Amino acid sequence: MTRSAPHLLTALLLALTTAACTDHGAAPQRAAADAGAPPAGGEWTLELAAELGEKLGGVTLADLDPDVPGDELAVLGSSGRVWSLAWSDDAWVVTELAHLPGEGIVVVGGELDGRPGDELVVGGMASGGEDDGGEGSLRLLSRGDDGWSVRELQRSPALVHGACLLDWDADGQLDVAAAGFAQQLVLASRGADDWSVRVLGELPAAAKSLVPWQGGVALALTDGQVLGAAPADGGCAFRSIDRALAGRARLASAGEQLLIASDDGSLILTGDAGPRELHHSSDKLRGAALADLLPGSSGLEAATVGYDGRVLLLTDLEHEPLTSVLHTDGDRLHHLASGSLRAKGDGMFLVAVGYSGRVIVLRAPGG
Ligand SMILES: [Ca+2]
Ligand SMILES: [Ca+2]
Ligand SMILES: [Ca+2]
Domains identified in the chain, total number: 1
Q: What is the rounded average pLDDT for all residues in the chain? A: 90
Q: With bands split at pLDDT 50, 70 and 90, how would you rate the model's confidence at 42?
A: confident
In a domain, 2, yes or no: no
Q: Is the separation of the CB atoms in 26 and 319 below 8 Å?
A: no
- pLDDT > 90 in the chain, percent: 83
Which ligand places an atom closest to the C-alpha of 340? 1
What is the whole-number distance in angstroms between the Cα of residue 11 and the centre of ligand 2?
29
Flag whether pLDDT at 367 surpasses 80. Answer: no
Flag whether pLDDT at 333 surpasses 70. Answer: yes
The upper half-sphere exposure of residue 45, i.e. CA atoms within 13 Å in the direction of its Cβ, equals: 15
Between β-strands 235-243 and 104-110, what pairing exists: parallel, antiparallel or unpaired? unpaired
What is the residue range of 71's domain?
A: 8-363
Q: What is the mean pLDDT of residues 137-152?
A: 96
What is the whole-number distance in angstroms between the Cα of residue 347 and the centre of ligand 1?
16
pLDDT of residue 260: 98
Flag whether pLDDT at 19 surpasses 70. Answer: no
Which ligand places an atom closest to the C-alpha of 191? 3
Which ligand places an atom closest to the C-alpha of 174? 3
**What Å distances lie between residue 199 and 24, 76, 132, 170, 296, CA to CA?**
41, 26, 25, 18, 43
Q: Which residues surround ligand 3, an ion (CB under 5 A)?
A: 167, 169, 171, 173, 175
In a domain, 94, yes or no: yes
Flag whether pLDDT at 34 surpasses 90. Answer: no
Give tens-digit pLDDT for 263-290.
Answer: 999 999 998 778 999 999 999 999 999 9
Q: Give the closest residue to 271 by CA, choosing from 259, 262, 281, 279.
A: 259
In a domain, 3, yes or no: no
Q: What is the mean pLDDT of residues 206-212?
A: 98
What is the whole-number distance in angstroms between the Cα of residue 63 and the centre of ligand 1?
4
In a domain, 198, yes or no: yes
In a domain, 181, yes or no: yes
Which ligand places an atom closest to the C-alpha of 112? 2
pLDDT of residue 5: 34
Q: Is the separation of the CB atoms in 263 and 296 below 8 Å?
A: no
End-to-end CA distance of the chain: give it in Å, rounded: 32
In a domain, 355, yes or no: yes
pLDDT of residue 39: 67
Give tens-digit pLDDT for 88-144.
Answer: 999 999 999 999 999 999 999 999 999 999 999 999 999 999 999 999 999 999 999
> What is the DSSP track for 99-111?
E-SB-EEEEEEE-
> What is the DSSP track for 220-284?
EETTSEEEEEEEETTEEEEEEEEE-SSPEEEEEEETTEEEEEETTSEEEEE-TT--EEEEE-SS-
> How far is Cα 113 from Cα 124, in angstroms, rounded to an integer?
21
Q: Give the closest residue to 147 by CA, choosing from 78, 93, 99.
A: 99
Count of residues making up the chain: 367
> How far is Cα 209 from Cα 223, in angstroms, rounded to an integer?
13
Q: CB neighbours of 299 closer than 8 A, spacing ≥ 6?
A: 292, 316, 317, 318
Which ligand places an atom closest to the C-alpha of 173? 3
What is the whole-number distance in angstroms between the Cα of residue 4 and the centre of ligand 1?
20
Residue type, 323: T
Q: Is the separation of the CB atoms in 365 and 40 below 8 Å?
A: no
pLDDT of residue 298: 87
Q: With bands split at pLDDT 50, 70 and 90, how would you rate the model's confidence at 6?
A: very low
Q: What is the mean pLDDT of residues 312-331?
A: 94
pLDDT of residue 35: 38
pLDDT of residue 29: 29
Flag whether pLDDT at 9 surpasses 60. Answer: no
Which ligand places an atom closest to the C-alpha of 176? 3
DSSP assigned state of 306: B
Flag whether pLDDT at 31 surpasses 60. Answer: no
What is the CATH classification number for the domain harbouring 74?
2.130.10.10
Flag whether pLDDT at 72 surpasses 90. Answer: yes
Q: Give the closest residue to 141 by CA, choosing from 160, 122, 155, 126.
A: 122
In a domain, 233, yes or no: yes
In a domain, 150, yes or no: yes
Name the more confident of 296 and 205. Answer: 205
